[in-house]
């Protein structure tokens, strides 16, 4: 994550570069200075170890904890050695970036152990130099303070990283929800427009076709006028249904079981096929989605009878059961009526839309031939 590489590690690098540069520069001006014999050699080794460890600590990533532990340990030992070899030097300052790096980049247990090791090593180095107790305490407090401040910095960094992750997850979740909502809305509108247009326009087409045939055969004016009037009525009904479907987006009242009687009456008036409607059970209030699904399934089933069957009678039956509501639309057709799209593989969009509506409510829809015709049955849970 980019945030890891730009905040706390950068501060540790700057601190380490400045402190180590200051300690090394000052060490050459302090006695005993760097050399190749005795204490001078010890100072040289300590400076070299401190420089190498600091460079390695700067360049290693936070994930390389198995390598960081010995590297920081070398920096602590080198700093303690400078404190012991140069009593008047600033070697103790090198402890600060070491414990800060441990706090910021290592697990709590490892960083705590290294901080304790740094405190102990610094105390031993000060004691060997016969320093005052006050000086030892002040330097130890400084090391502990740097460690604690760095731990606070680490907690802040981790909480900020976690917040960034949560925000990213929230954005992804919102995007997925928006996409799902848009898809669901498109599917719902597709079902609505299909049901509305298929019901009204298919009847309109049939009536216009009848009017054309009557006109071709020079039928009496009364029959032609009646056919055209029915087509006009279907066109008006289709327009009203389309407006109602669009009104759903504005929260207008939706059609439901209360409209089934009028739906069957219109079907009988338009087709001349006897269509009965019956209700059983104690009527109860249904949800808006369930009411709309019952109406649309009945509408689509009647549309398929109109388009694909030579029906002699259609029965629409609505039953309020204890566990749910059942709607059946069954027609009795002329012998040899043949298969229709709903009775085959079930790939027709009308049946697909019906099943989608039922599935969204946790219900079921079955459709298939009977001994005398065809039956569509919908069940939705209470």
Mean per-residue pLDDT for 155-172?
84
Residue 258 neighbours by CB distance under 10 Å: 10
In our burial notation (b when 16+ CB lie closer than 10 A, e otherwise), range 44-59 reads bebbebbbebbebbbe
Query: Is the distance from CB of 87 to CB of 131 less than 8 angstroms?
Result: yes
Mean per-residue pLDDT for 361-378?
92
Q: Residue 348 has what pLDDT?
A: 45
| pLDDT tens-digit readout, 82-126 | 888 877 777 778 888 888 888 888 888 888 888 888 888 888 887
Residue 148 has pLDDT above 70, yes or no: yes
Query: Is the distance from CB of 351 to CB of 373 less than 8 angstroms?
Result: no
Q: Residue 344 has what pLDDT?
A: 37
- Quote the CA–CA distance of 2 and 294 in Å, as a whole number: 55
* Mean pLDDT score across all residues of the chain: 78
Q: Write out the two tokens for 282.
A: 């104690």
Q: How far is CA 161 from CA 64, 154, 155, 168, 366, in A?
A: 19, 10, 10, 11, 53
From 47, 58, 113, 114, select the one nearest 83 (Cα to Cα): 47
Q: Residue 328 has what pLDDT?
A: 96
Q: Residue 5 has what pLDDT?
A: 44
What band does 39 get if pLDDT is binned at 50, 70 and 90? Answer: confident
**116-120, 205-209, 332-336, 341-345: which range is least confident on average?**
341-345
What band does 4 get if pLDDT is binned at 50, 70 and 90? Answer: very low
**Residue 250: which residues within 8 A CB-CB, separation 6 or more?**
none
Q: Residue 186 has what pLDDT?
A: 67
Residue 142 neighbours by CB distance under 10 Å: 16
Q: How far is CA 264 from CA 154, 248, 270, 297, in A?
A: 73, 23, 10, 13
Q: Where are the alpha helices (DSSP H) in 107-132?
A: 108-128
Mean per-residue pLDDT for 287-300?
89
pTM of the model: 0.42
Show the CA angle centred on residue 357, arms to residues 352 and 360, nearest 5°.
120
Strand segments (E) across the chain: 274-280, 311-320, 324-333, 364-369, 373-381
Q: Write out the two tokens for 244.
A: 């109602």
Kind of pairing between the strands at 274-280 and 311-320 = parallel
Domains of the chain: 2-170 (no CATH), 255-382 (3.30.565.10)
CA terminus-to-terminus distance, the chain = 50
| pLDDT tens-digit readout, 234-278 | 776 766 666 666 655 555 567 889 999 999 998 998 888 999 999
Between 354 and 128, name the one with better pLDDT.
Answer: 354
Q: Residue 289 has what pLDDT?
A: 84
- Quote the CA–CA distance of 258 and 244 in Å, as a whole number: 15
Residue 36 has pLDDT above 50, yes or no: yes
What band does 354 get if pLDDT is binned at 50, 70 and 90? Answer: confident
Q: How far is CA 195 from CA 79, 208, 273, 298, 304, in A?
A: 83, 20, 21, 10, 11
Mean per-residue pLDDT for 150-179?
83
């Amino acid at each position: 994550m980019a945030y890891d590489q730009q905040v706390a590690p950068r501060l540790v690098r700057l601190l380490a570069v400045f402190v180590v540069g200051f300690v090394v520069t000052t060490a050459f001006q302090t006695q005993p200075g760097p050399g190749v014999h005795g204490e001078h050699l010890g100072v040289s080794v300590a400076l070299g170890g401190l420089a190498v460890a600091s460079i390695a600590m700067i360049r290693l990533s936070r994930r390389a904890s198995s390598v960081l532990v010995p590297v920081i340990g070398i920096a602590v030992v080198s700093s303690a050695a400078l404190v012991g070899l140069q009593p008047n030097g600033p070697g103790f300052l090198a402890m600060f970036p070491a414990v800060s790096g441990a706090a910021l980049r290592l697990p709590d247990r490892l960083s705590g152990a290294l901080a304790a090791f740094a405190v102990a090593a610094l105390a031993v180095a000060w004691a060997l130099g016969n320093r005052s107790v006050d000086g030892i305490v002040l330097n130890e407090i400084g090391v502990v303070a740097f460690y604690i401040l760095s731990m606070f910095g680490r907690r802040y960094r981790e909480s900020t990283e976690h917040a960034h992750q949560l925000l990213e997850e929230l954005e992804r979740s919102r995007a997925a929800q928006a996409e799902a909502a848009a898809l669901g809305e498109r599917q719902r509108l597709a079902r609505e427009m299909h049901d509305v247009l298929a019901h009204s326009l298919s009847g309109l087409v049939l009536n216009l076709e009848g009017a054309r045939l009557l006109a071709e055969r020079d039928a009496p004016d009364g029959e032609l006028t009646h056919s055209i009037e029915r087509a006009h009525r279907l066109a008006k009904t289709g327009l009203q249904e389309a407006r109602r479907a669009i009104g759903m987006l504005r929260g207008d009242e939706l059609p439901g079981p209360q409209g089934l009687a009028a739906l069957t009456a219109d079907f009988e008036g338009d087709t001349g096929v006897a269509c009965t409607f019956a209700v059983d059970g104690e009527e109860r209030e249904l949800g808006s989605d369930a009411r709309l699904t019952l109406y649309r399934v009945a509408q689509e089933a009647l549309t398929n009878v109109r388009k694909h069957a030579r029906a002699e009678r259609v029965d629409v039956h609505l039953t309020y059961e204890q566990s749910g509501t059942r709607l059946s639309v069954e027609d009795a057709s002329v012998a040899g009526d043949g298969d229709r799209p709903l009775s085959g593989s079930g790939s027709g969009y009308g049946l697909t839309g019906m099943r989608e509506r039922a599935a969204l409510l946790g219900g079921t829809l079955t459709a298939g031939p009977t001994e005398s015709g065809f039956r569509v049955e919908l069940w939705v849970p209470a």
